[in-house]
Amino acid sequence: MNPPSSSRIKVRPATEREGRKDYITIKDYGFWYGQKKALDAISLDIPERQVVAFIGPSGCGKSTLLRNLNRMNDLIDDIRHEGDITINGRSIYDPGLEVISLRRRVGMVFQKSNPFPKSVFENVVYALRVVGVRDRAVLEEACETSLRKAALWDEVKDRLDDSALGLSGGQMQRLCIARAIANRPEILLMDEPCSALDPIATGKIEELIHELKDQFTIVIVTHSMQQAARVSDRTAFFYLGKQIEYDTTEKIFMNPSQAQTEAYISGRFG
């Protein structure tokens, strides 16, 4: 087995930080859309405050898995699952756990930026508004903090009351990140956050992911191998609903144990 020709792909050495090693645990997880099985026997642990990338060809189930982490797939009719997902030891399917409170702890950024047709300010503080925060000072502070974390503050601080729809594509996506982190979730899910962005905006968002992982556990789905290599500590490779390999990013990209993984990351299929 030859190491993949990775001259183009620069792998960041994995950083070990303190925190639970099994912060998110996915165990023997299977998932069906109607009769179609989308995920099969997924088992992986995601450590606290690390970035985990899901990679794989289209339709491999990586987005489905991501969207199950905050039960976004509940919006779809006729779904069913087996196995379990726990966050910090508690099952997300626990009947005593409300979906709403789960989603407040697990923020999400989507493939297409989807700001609300409201002002920049109202977009950012929306998550606080829905939990009933009315205090203007608190909202303003949260707005500034989130926008700073999302590296957008300097660009929009003078136009907080303008419509968010007037921002550029990259700004909109960073605004969505700011919105997702405004109520301080523990986990941030990113579903191909850069697929619609130009390289400069992509670079900014990747930089942002580095910054954010000090505070959040980040799960990112990406089609870009380079991106996975650049931003993640661990990488999982999926193919046809199955988990092929899950290891440190360095290992996956430098020395994958599965031939399929190697073939995919070296661009021979996918």
Partner 1 sequence: MASSSDSSTPRGEAWVWFTGLGLIIGLGMVIGLLSLVFVNGITVFWAPPVPVAQVDDGRTIIGQLAQRRIRAGSPADQPRYELQYQVGLRELNGNSYLWVDETKIKAEAFPADVLGLERVEHGPAFVRPQSLRKSDGKVVLITDSAFESALQAEVSAAAEVREKFEEITRHRIGDVNHEMDEARVALRRAEDLKLADEIAVRRRQIEGLEERFVILKAEAQKIVNGGAVALLDTKDAAGREVVIPLTQIVRAWFPNRLDTWGRTQLFASRLGEFIFDEPREANTEGGLMPAIFGTLVMTVFMSLMVTPFGVITAIYLREYAQKGPILRIVRISVNNLAGVPSIVFGVFGLGFFVYVLGGSIDQLFFSDQLKYNNNTPVFGTGGLLWCSLTLALMTLPVVIVATEEALSAVPRGMREASLATGASKWQTIRDILLPASAPGILTGVILAMARGAGEVAPLMLVGVVKLAPTLPFDGTAPFLHMDRKFMHLGFHVYDLGFQSPDSDAARPMVFATTLLLIVLIVFLNLGAITIRNRLRARFKGASF
**Footprint on this chain of partner 1 (rule: CB under 8 A):** 70, 72, 75, 77, 100-101, 103-104, 107-108, 110, 112-117, 126-127, 129-131, 163, 165-166, 169, 172, 176, 179-180, 182-183
In what helix (H) or strand (E) does residue 153 lie, and over which residues does it extend? helix 153-156
- The least distance separating partner 1 from the CB of residue 41, rounded to whole angstroms, comes to 27
Nearer to partner 1, 15 or 101 (CB): 101
In what helix (H) or strand (E) does residue 39 lie, and over which residues does it extend? strand 36-46
- The least distance separating partner 1 from the CB of residue 143, rounded to whole angstroms, comes to 14
Nearer to partner 1, 117 or 199 (CB): 117
Evaluate whether 215 touches 49 at the Cβ level (below 8 Å).
yes
Q: What does DSSP say about strands 24-33 and 79-87: parallel, antiparallel, or unpaired?
A: antiparallel
- The least distance separating partner 1 from the CB of residue 221, rounded to whole angstroms, comes to 14
Angle at 231 between CA 90 and CA 46, to 5 degrees: 20
Q: In what order do the strands lie in the sheet with 36-46?
A: 90-91, 79-87, 24-33, 36-46, 242-248, 234-239, 51-55, 217-221, 187-191, 106-109
Nearer to partner 1, 28 or 141 (CB): 141
Nearest to 220 by CA among 59, 124, 107, 88: 107
- The least distance separating partner 1 from the CB of residue 164, rounded to whole angstroms, comes to 9
Nearer to partner 1, 172 or 220 (CB): 172
Nearer to partner 1, 173 or 249 (CB): 173
**Tell me, what DSSP letter sits at residue 42?**
E
- The least distance separating partner 1 from the CB of residue 263, rounded to whole angstroms, comes to 33
